[in-house]
Amino acid sequence: MLKLSLDAIEIIDAIDRGGSFAAAAEALHKVPSTISYTVSKLEEQLGFDLFARRGPRVSLTPAGRELLAEGRWLLRSAADLESRLRRIATGYESELRLVHDSLLPVTALVGHIRDFEALGCGTRLRLSTEVMTGAWEALREGRAEIVLAVGDPPPGFAQHAKRLHAIEFVCCVAPGHPLARLDHPVVEDDLLEHTAIVVADSARLLPARSIGLVAGRSRITVANIEAKIALQIVGLGYGFLPRCRIDAALKKRELVALAVAAPRAAEPLWLAWSAEGEQGEALKWWRARLLAPDALASP
């Protein structure tokens, strides 16, 4: 009898992604004891360890890494098979993965998510965020069926993408930041003594973008727009922020907008999707919904 099951591989994958049994339990909506028992039982049956334990943190052993490398391929194949069978039977996918750039707040999608869930079609919706080129890469690498990406598409994407609207950016600092006290539009020389807060492109394979970075300038790099906003609010640096994410902070004077000599141009927001031959009803629903006028009102 086979000792490996897809459920066990999914648990190992979740542990590796989260770094702990507790994180895997939360991601999979299981109790931690179930995760621990499944791994211990599998290791006992296989006769070798899959994880090296260091307190609550765990990491894959060489054998575990090899198992997961092949196991993830099996998980993708099983998911593809399930999705194809479901599309044959109902036209709806078993799961739809929607990735949106972190500049776009998830609140912009809440109404659409509510209406999609009301369909009762059985498609599981999986939402995740990426930064800059990362959203395009998620589509190219098959980690998403539909994406909301910021910035022009890399070569080869335009045939399955439509430009929606532009996202406006504002250069901001905390009210107590020295740049807020200047009585003239901010120029490059004004920025030299201050720290920029920048968000790293999440792309792993496609060439990463960098915006407004000057070699040698002091900066703090963060993983997402939420962290960038938080650090700028507490006065640790300056940077351009999407107006759609900071209207409330500007009204409450947690941030102040700077007049700058060289504003950052607005970035286009794109909707992109999988190739025509792979579309199920859920993907068609989301594509039509997000292409509708004012579906994502321009900030």
CATH number at residue 181: 3.40.190.290
Nearest to 242 by CA among 201, 199, 182, 179: 199
Q: Which helix (H) or strand (E) holds 100?
A: strand 95-101
In this predicted model, what pLDDT tens digit does every residue of 238-260 receive, in sequence order? 999 999 889 999 999 999 999 99
Does this model's pTM top 0.85? My answer is no
Instruction: Evaluate whether residue 190 is within a structural domain.
Output: yes
CATH number, position 35: 1.10.10.10
pLDDT score recorded for residue 81: 81
- If asked whether residues 50 and 123 sit together in one domain, one would say no
- If asked whether residues 189 and 227 sit together in one domain, one would say yes
- If asked whether residues 277 and 220 sit together in one domain, one would say no
* Residues in Cβ contact with 188 at an 8 Å cutoff, skipping those fewer than 6 apart: 214, 261, 262
Name the pLDDT band for 146 (thresholds 50, 70, 90): very high
Instruction: Evaluate whether residue 1 is within a structural domain.
Output: no
Bridge-based pairing of strands 161-167 and 267-273 is antiparallel
- If asked whether residues 202 and 246 sit together in one domain, one would say yes
Q: What domain range is 229 assigned to?
A: 169-265
- If asked whether residues 185 and 261 sit together in one domain, one would say yes
- If asked whether residues 126 and 55 sit together in one domain, one would say no
Instruction: Evaluate whether residue 70 is within a structural domain.
Output: yes
In this predicted model, what pLDDT tens digit does every residue of 193-224 receive, in sequence order? 899 999 888 766 666 666 655 555 788 999 88
pLDDT score recorded for residue 272: 93
Instruction: Evaluate whether residue 296 is within a structural domain.
Output: no
- If asked whether residues 17 and 52 sit together in one domain, one would say yes
Q: How many domains does the chain have?
A: 3
Mean pLDDT for the chain overall: 87
- If asked whether residues 49 and 102 sit together in one domain, one would say no
- If asked whether residues 177 and 259 sit together in one domain, one would say yes
Instruction: Evaluate whether residue 238 is within a structural domain.
Output: yes
Round to whole Å and give the CA distance between 19 and 294.
40
CATH number, position 123: 3.40.190.10
Look up residue 236 and give its amino acid: L
pLDDT score recorded for residue 209: 62
- Give the torsion through C-alpha atoms of 121, 123, 124, 128, to 10 deg: -120
Bridge-based pairing of strands 124-130 and 161-167 is unpaired
- If asked whether residues 108 and 153 sit together in one domain, one would say yes
Name the pLDDT band for 298 (thresholds 50, 70, 90): very low
Give the Å distances, CA to CA, from 107 to 103, 148, 264, 272: 11, 14, 24, 20
- If asked whether residues 78 and 95 sit together in one domain, one would say no
Which structure tokens are listed for 252? 């409450």
